[in-house]
Structure 1
């Protein structure tokens, strides 16, 4: 049994994702495809459009055989941490042969050369020096890698190239899984043209945001009712049938509203001193003062992110830091979790071809397979605090808390699913 792993967000699952799975099956026709997917919050610090169970179901409909959750401690992190967490989880399953990933760069050799250059002693030393001098990680890495690898610096301006390089770095440290590069077809990651071939998730989310603004202004309910015929047609061309159906039935009240985070963040700053703030993940080098000042002068979440963003502090880093603040995640906690890596495999959805794979994983006993959260963590145990919990329970606690935070910022009050009540969806 050949098994191909994918590390993804599927926010939402679109035709570019389906294309990737089709390309895997062209290379390995009988391969079982397992996706390790972000949960309630994605790598750039935003709440996912759909909850993780619905996104997993749409991934199964789009061709995946099994969808596991990438724990929050790795999913709402930098590209390096996101990639390492996903690769370590796939490796620990003990059955994955290949990791498939997309990139704008079509040359695996070029990407491997860059990955090797980043891990060289010289680049690592200079990288730390540049960061200490005030450069951002991304800025310093781009400059140093282009010089060391003799590569085009613009390659590191593309998010999928960056992730591909981080996957290759992680695979080098955990050998046994072979990389499968699938050059990205159609729109680029940041391309906001919804009419482009294989429109990006960014373009789709932007279109839905525009529809949500119109729906709220018109006191409307369904997002689809606010789309122009041009945009509705473009959406039909961008999404597989199941994803399109889900979005057409999506009400504005079912979308997370990040503005709901603003007031609790302001209250948190009001009662928390700088010494305490400095313990939270992502807070260093005076960022606590910048956030405090920005929270006093902005009136929307978007304004807050824009005001706090600088050359040193990217928008994504600010967004992740704010979520860590809301959940009370400290840097010490993340450092401890990073040392252990993912400690379980949480099943979100499974197709009929994935059942045999689950039996194989369970038999290998390399990681606990979680189908019922309360078998490993109860809400009563969680309430006792992270310090009282096992390392596995600590990771699972952050997953459950992030799910409930997403619920809190989603206006609709019914049909909400949480980790203690929701079971995986098995498809026959």
Structure 2
């Protein structure tokens, strides 16, 4: 049997269902990997190895009815867990113990998945980094705020991980660590038990090493059956590159990655092209900053009242600046979003997905920050689904990639396209 840690969630679930391997063997392999690599990567805020093995042994004796029976996964530490601390990346809540599981966690448990532990998040899923390092090069950031989940999945500590996004907190770490990340249409998943920062922007998501596992996790979270294999025999997807208002601010490597990816997609026979962004898109990043600050300031006033050093200066400043945003400016930002959203819907009459940068470039050196959220802010404001896909590395071996943007509410279609692309893309 090949190294079980190299297999994805779907492959592991199938092996367990067939009786080829037991959940305990799968869990033991991943815990061995964690013992080897965690001192370098630092993905975990709370590792629950004993309980994970106990659950795995219990799963050995149970029928494998759930879609994720016996499959290990990790949980971002802003998601409530009844039997583990949930500290939100903050010293204020380091000993916080929820009295119930988050809805997303409960869905995974009912599907038979087994949690390994809680992964590092930035403070309140915002700016201040935790201890996590990039598995590709420990001197570089893994991105944030879903730092630990992205690093754990990338480094074969788990096949699946929960993340979240308010600005770029899932797509950016997926890009920096070289894994797949799915940020669904806002509101697709139940956020009960997930720490809130900005009500109209907060979105639960998942990280995996293969788009098929993103679709599998989506099926579990939505309570649907096993996802079918995408079929594009009748018509291949239509994918267009949108350089967007910040294209010039991306690195040469990122711009080259996007154009190479488009050429590789064209080589499959799919319809490709380029599409210009409407002028209003140039205002979306600032609109996202306004909306995020305004909503965070009204949701997290209790933490703001504690002040520095109980909270970081960065988080204090986010709330302070948000309190200065007027209702009129907030509503104007939402109006900008709505105008752009209508224009984007028109674009999707002619394309199935947009190809855009996932980050300004490869993961920056240093651990004092988690990188620039520039290339995801506007898409998160527009509440559309997005999927980060890895596509090669730079000269130093750091991952590169791009993200696919789908129409709001058309998540199934975007997941299908991502799976199809992963099976057909060849480097150009």
Q: TM over 0.5, yes or no?
A: no
Higher RCO (C-alpha 8 Å, min separation 6): 1
TM-score normalised by L of structure 1: 0.27
Structure with more helix by fraction: 1
